A and B are shown apart, each in its own frame.
Chain A
Amino acid sequence: MPSNTTPGLSPDHFVAPLEDTPLRAVDAVDESEKPRSSWDDAWDAMKTRPLFWISAVLILLVIVVAVFPQLFTSTSPTSGASLPDSNGGPESGHPMGFTLQGLDVYARVIYGTRASLTVGLLATVIVTVVGIVIGSLAGYYGGWLDAVVSRIGDIFFAIPTVLGAIVLMSVLPSRTPLTVALVLSLFAWPQIARIMRGSVLGAKSSDYVMASTALGVSRFRILLRHVVPNAITPVIVVATVSLGTFIVAEATLSFLGIGLPSGVMSWGNDIDAARSSLRVAPMPLIWPAAALSVTVLSFLMMGDVVRDALDPKARARR
């Protein structure tokens, strides 16, 4: 350690030269950096991960296929059946072969996307909206409202989604993508509501809520403007993942013959139809099953990436 030679100071009194550590103003603001919200941070965390781009491209592709199936095939999935081709292998113009009915498998997989995705999206939107509304009201206002809502949620929570849906679908007079989505939502909303309630309970006891109360902001407005935006991230994560599981649930119901009517093209229906001839011709079953898996997988991967980006604790564990 350099000793000091300034008169009046003891020899072991060391003073660093000022140029080594230039003094900055107390608590100076660094204006050079660009302002960023927590959503910007999440985006930065996501965009560096290959998994995000892979799943994003796949999801985008699935959506485009669902909206514009005619872009991907000119073969009709419902007409032009040729019985001689029944369960036939791939040939030119029919890359995935034929179904038992002699229809083009590729065209059916392409056209089946819409029903599967519609049910998945509808159910997710309904569940998320219902779950957020009910969960945040219960968590925020508490008291008897919370008690009643939580018990009702528990009742539905106790019934397995698919089992409940099987029972309900078998007595429903009409079966459309909307009714399937509604039935699935009926049994799935408590999960989102529970998560939202817990998250709201955490956010409502924070100091910024007390600060807003003291400013005179009304209770409901605090819920809308401060509590919900801060409580919503875990719900977004679960919703992304659940989109995949709803598509699976629809396929399961259709496979059991009580989901979408057999007239509606969907992967579940096609898997069901190909089941009988699985031993002789596995391909008509494998192709729609593969489409289903890839779609579900891409939503699950997306859910994973979103969770990592929105939840720094999960990121640190990785």
Chain B
Amino acid sequence: MTDTSTRPEPARAASSTTPLLEIKGLKIGFKTQSGYVDAVRGVDFTMMPGERLAIVGESGSGKSTTATSIIDLLPGAGEVTGGQILFEGKDLTKASAAEMQAIRGRDIGYVPQDPMSNLNPVWSIGFQVEEAIRANGVATGKQAVRERAIEVLKEAGLGDADQRLKQFPHQFSGGMRQRVLIGIGLSSRPKLLIADEPTSALDVTVQRRILDHLESLTRDYGTSVLFITHDLGLAAERAEKLVVMYKGRVVESGPSKEILANPQHPYTQRLVAAAPSLASQRIQSSIAPSHSHGLEISDEGADDAELMARARQREEAGKADADYIRVENLSKVYSIRQGGFKTTELRAVDDVSFSIPRGTTTALVGESGSGKSTVAKLVLQLESITSGTVSIDGKSVGALRGKDLFDFRRRVQPVFQDPYGSLDPMYSVGNTIAEPLVTHGIGDRKSRQARVHELLNQVSLPVSMVNRYPGELSGGQRQRIAVARALALKPDVIVLDEAVSALDVLVQGQVLDLLTDLQTELGLTYLFITHDLAVVRLIADNVCVMQKGRIVESGTTDEIFADPSQQYTRELLEAIPGAAFEFGR
């Protein structure tokens, strides 16, 4: 076993031999116009009292469907079509609506995925907590319910709970809302808590704090926890047992550490190999690097003067290359209207300086609100610069207008975060990729078509894709189309704004490999914006850590990961789920 963490084994896990939850041959189908579509095709697993189990899988694997079926909350068209869900020996698939209602909340708690939409914005937090307490019969009487509500919020880690009760969801941050939801889920001391991606919408450091808190609470109460997650690292760190799902089936299950150290099923092996962790190194390109911008020294007998001149030339080229993209004292101030005629200033980016050598990747890391995406927009000239300069290849981009700006667009291309938003749903794939070529008047119809085919090959998608529409493609495929569009004009620089954050681990790995290969092949320079330090390790040469609009630390990736000098950077690094694990690779 390669586990290096020092978590004590749960005391209750072995104390009982009757399973708390037993799922046998569970099948779930969704009714559509053309009959049932199977989402879950025979799932078995068992949970003992006090145990923590994590279901891991990519989107569409049926993991959330399995979890919601336990508390009979399948979305509209879903239906259990076979198998049993035994909770303390009672088959929940046969329970009546009234029986389910009694079990839900009281015996089985649920923490939903999205803290932003799962609290009703028109009711105060106190009202919603009290509602749950009353519904589960934990306390009766106005005073008792109120006191219990305060207790619940205190347990959930909200300090001034009695004040907080009167507040409304919009006054809470995402992390605080998730604490409230966890508090509600645990308010009646359920035997089982289902946590469906409880922290995937939160920043990594917040995620870590909340999971730590959830862990200590459930350990105190002896609650079993069923985690649903796409993150193998998180699953292994937080649960003793893993169930790996793929296309509606369990492909592998067992003790977390053993599965990670010794994955048996090829799918699990793939997942483990793709999981970004601290143990991994920067992805090496499978293509031999080209020397398109290096000067070769001929070994013919040249005289000294010529050699000296060439050496000097190379040195200068190297110097220019080191500052290929140069950002100096960059600031961006937004004025926010405060009602009436008052405005306040928000310094989204505050005196930021860094430079990126040609042909390398610099990652800009930070949590939401750190100003990293604003830097990307300033570099792309999608927002105007308040003060400071951004120069690319010695040319300041802030002053570009008209024709110069148009030429700049040709050399600097973006890939955005949301693969569902960045492609026009009314444009076919072919038109989308050809758009930059048409815009810049490159080639005729025929040569453009050839270029589109070439680009599709470059991002490993079949040529038959040209007639498809974004709505038919998966997130990873859309992101590869976005990369193809960015490459169409043969740019020098690509700004990737959270370009892989929305993708499943395997797809993410595939896109990162692609980006690395393209960089080597085409000598591209990347500015890589992300909140995920684990990904940074895989792709970046240099890292700048941003906090509240400022760069707090920068250096090469190896330096930052080996020896972070700032407390904030250390926190970020520690928060990477599964950081303490060594994966079996």
How far is the CB of A230 from the nearest CB of chain B, in Å?
6
Interface check A206, CB cutoff 8 A: yes
B472 contacts A35, C-beta separation under 8 Å: yes
Write the B7-19 contact mask toward A (1 if CB under 8 angstroms, else 0).
Answer: 0000000000000
Question: Which residues of A (183-216) have their CB < 8 Å from a CB of B?
Answer: 206-208, 210-216
**A8-B262, A37-B426, A214-B412 are known contacts; what are 20 more A-B pairs with Cβ within 8 Å?**
A10-B254, A12-B254, A13-B253, A15-B251, A16-B250, A16-B252, A18-B266, A21-B249, A23-B267, A29-B477, A35-B428, A35-B467, A36-B472, A211-B414, A211-B416, A211-B422, A212-B424, A213-B382, A216-B410, A217-B435
Question: Which residues of A (1-54) have their CB < 8 Å from a CB of B?
Answer: 1, 4, 6, 8-10, 12-16, 18, 20-21, 23, 26-27, 29, 31, 33, 35-38, 41, 48
How far is the CB of B484 from the nearest CB of chain A, in Å?
12
How far is the CB of B304 from the nearest CB of chain A, in Å?
48
Write the B396-425 contact mask toward A (1 if CB under 8 angstroms, else 0).
Answer: 000000000110011011101110011111
Interface check B255, CB cutoff 8 A: yes
How far is the CB of B263 from the nearest CB of chain A, in Å?
9
Interface check A95, CB cutoff 8 A: no
Contact among B424, B428, B477 for A208, CB-based, below 8 A: B424
Chain B residue, CB-CB nearest to A229: B426
Contact among A31, A36, A206, A212 for B464, CB-based, below 8 A: A31
CA of A12 to CA of B241 in the docked complex: distance in angstroms? 10
Main secondary structure of the interface of A (DSSP, over half): loop
Contact among B380, B410, B469, B509 for A37, CB-based, below 8 A: B469
Top 10 A-B pairs ranked by shortest CB distance? A13-B254, A216-B409, A207-B421, A207-B422, A35-B467, A15-B264, A208-B424, A27-B476, A35-B468, A229-B426
B477 contacts A27, C-beta separation under 8 Å: yes
Query: Can you sample 20 A-B contacts with CB below 8 Å?
Result: A10-B258, A12-B241, A13-B254, A15-B265, A18-B266, A20-B249, A21-B246, A26-B476, A26-B510, A27-B474, A29-B465, A29-B473, A36-B472, A41-B471, A206-B421, A208-B421, A208-B425, A213-B382, A216-B410, A230-B424
Contact among B267, B425, B435, B469 for A215, CB-based, below 8 A: B435
Interface check A226, CB cutoff 8 A: yes
CA of A21 to CA of B405 in the docked complex: distance in angstroms? 52
How far is the CB of A27 from the nearest CB of chain B, in Å?
4
CA of A14 to CA of B244 in the docked complex: distance in angstroms? 10
Question: Which residues of B (232-255) have their CB < 8 Å from a CB of A?
Answer: 241, 246-247, 249-255
A215 contacts B413, C-beta separation under 8 Å: yes
Interface check B29, CB cutoff 8 A: no
Chain B residues whose C-beta falls within 8 Å of the C-beta of A230 in the assembled complex: 424-426
Q: What is the interface size of chain A, counting residues whose CB is below 8 A from a CB of the partner?
A: 41
Chain B residue, CB-CB nearest to A6: B264
B406 contacts A216, C-beta separation under 8 Å: yes
CA of A214 to CA of B414 in the docked complex: distance in angstroms? 7
Question: Which residues of B (440-476) have their CB < 8 Å from a CB of A?
Answer: 440, 461-462, 464-465, 467-469, 471-474, 476
CA of A192 to CA of B134 in the docked complex: distance in angstroms? 49
CA of A213 to CA of B383 in the docked complex: distance in angstroms? 11
A10 contacts B424, C-beta separation under 8 Å: no
Interface check B45, CB cutoff 8 A: yes
CA of A15 to CA of B472 in the docked complex: distance in angstroms? 33
How far is the CB of B11 from the nearest CB of chain A, in Å?
19
Chain B residues whose C-beta falls within 8 Å of the C-beta of A31 in the assembled complex: 462, 464
Most chain A beta carbons < 10 A, residue from B46, B267, B406, B472: B472
Most chain B beta carbons < 10 A, residue from A4, A21, A33, A215: A215
B426 contacts A38, C-beta separation under 8 Å: yes
Interface check B96, CB cutoff 8 A: no
Across chains A and B, the number of contacting residue pairs, with CB separation under 8 Å, is: 144
How far is the CB of A142 from the nearest CB of chain B, in Å?
15
Query: A14-B253, A226-B424 are known contacts. Are A38 and B439 too (CB-CB below 8 A)?
Result: no
B482 contacts A211, C-beta separation under 8 Å: yes
A14 contacts B418, C-beta separation under 8 Å: no
Chain B residues whose C-beta falls within 8 Å of the C-beta of A27 in the assembled complex: 474, 476-477, 506-507, 510
Chain B residues whose C-beta falls within 8 Å of the C-beta of A36 in the assembled complex: 468-469, 472
A9 contacts B258, C-beta separation under 8 Å: yes
CA of A12 to CA of B242 in the docked complex: distance in angstroms? 11
How far is the CB of B572 from the nearest CB of chain A, in Å?
26
CA of A48 to CA of B32 in the docked complex: distance in angstroms? 14
B264 contacts A9, C-beta separation under 8 Å: yes
Chain A residue, CB-CB nearest to B263: A15
How far is the CB of A66 from the nearest CB of chain B, in Å?
33
How far is the CB of A40 from the nearest CB of chain B, in Å?
9
Write the A104-123 contact mask toward B (1 if CB under 8 angstroms, else 0).
Answer: 00000000000000000000
Chain A residue, CB-CB nearest to B377: A210
CA of A206 to CA of B485 in the docked complex: distance in angstroms? 17
Chain B residue, CB-CB nearest to A206: B421
Interface check B259, CB cutoff 8 A: yes
CA of A190 to CA of B414 in the docked complex: distance in angstroms? 38
CA of A306 to CA of B473 in the docked complex: distance in angstroms? 25
Most chain A beta carbons < 10 A, residue from B254, B467, B476: B254
How far is the CB of A17 from the nearest CB of chain B, in Å?
9
A214 contacts B258, C-beta separation under 8 Å: no
Question: Which residues of B (537-561) have their CB < 8 Å from a CB of A?
Answer: none
Contact among A13, A33, A206, A207 for B264, CB-based, below 8 A: A13
Interface check B436, CB cutoff 8 A: yes
CA of A36 to CA of B426 in the docked complex: distance in angstroms? 10
Chain A residues whose C-beta falls within 8 Å of the C-beta of B259 in the assembled complex: 13
Contact among B251, B469, B477 for A21, CB-based, below 8 A: B251
Interface check B270, CB cutoff 8 A: yes
CA of A66 to CA of B425 in the docked complex: distance in angstroms? 38
Query: A29-B465, A35-B428, A230-B424 are known contacts. Are A9 and B262 too (CB-CB below 8 A)?
Result: yes
A214 contacts B413, C-beta separation under 8 Å: yes
Chain B residues whose C-beta falls within 8 Å of the C-beta of A14 in the assembled complex: 250, 252-254
Contact among B250, B380, B421 for A214, CB-based, below 8 A: B380
Chain A residues whose C-beta falls within 8 Å of the C-beta of B267 in the assembled complex: 21, 23
Chain A residues whose C-beta falls within 8 Å of the C-beta of B482 in the assembled complex: 211
CA of A41 to CA of B472 in the docked complex: distance in angstroms? 11
Query: A35-B472, A226-B424 are known contacts. Are A215 and B506 too (CB-CB below 8 A)?
Result: no
CA of A31 to CA of B468 in the docked complex: distance in angstroms? 10
Chain A residues whose C-beta falls within 8 Å of the C-beta of B473 in the assembled complex: 29
Query: A12-B255, A13-B258, A23-B266 are known contacts. Are A33 and B472 too (CB-CB below 8 A)?
Result: yes
CA of A41 to CA of B469 in the docked complex: distance in angstroms? 11
CA of A221 to CA of B439 in the docked complex: distance in angstroms? 9
Chain A residues whose C-beta falls within 8 Å of the C-beta of B440 in the assembled complex: 216
Question: Which residues of B (467-510) have their CB < 8 Å from a CB of A?
Answer: 467-469, 471-474, 476-477, 482, 485, 489, 506-507, 509-510
Most chain B beta carbons < 10 A, residue from A29, A38, A206, A226: A29
Chain A residues whose C-beta falls within 8 Å of the C-beta of B410 in the assembled complex: 216
Chain B residues whose C-beta falls within 8 Å of the C-beta of A48 in the assembled complex: 33
Interface check B44, CB cutoff 8 A: yes
CA of A13 to CA of B435 in the docked complex: distance in angstroms? 52
How far is the CB of A238 from the nearest CB of chain B, in Å?
19
Chain A residue, CB-CB nearest to B381: A214
A26 contacts B45, C-beta separation under 8 Å: no
B510 contacts A208, C-beta separation under 8 Å: no
CA of A226 to CA of B44 in the docked complex: distance in angstroms? 48
CA of A21 to CA of B255 in the docked complex: distance in angstroms? 21
CA of A230 to CA of B46 in the docked complex: distance in angstroms? 49
How far is the CB of B77 from the nearest CB of chain A, in Å?
10
How far is the CB of B499 from the nearest CB of chain A, in Å?
12
A210 contacts B472, C-beta separation under 8 Å: no
CA of A229 to CA of B426 in the docked complex: distance in angstroms? 7
CA of A9 to CA of B254 in the docked complex: distance in angstroms? 9
Contact among A26, A38, A206 for B506, CB-based, below 8 A: A26
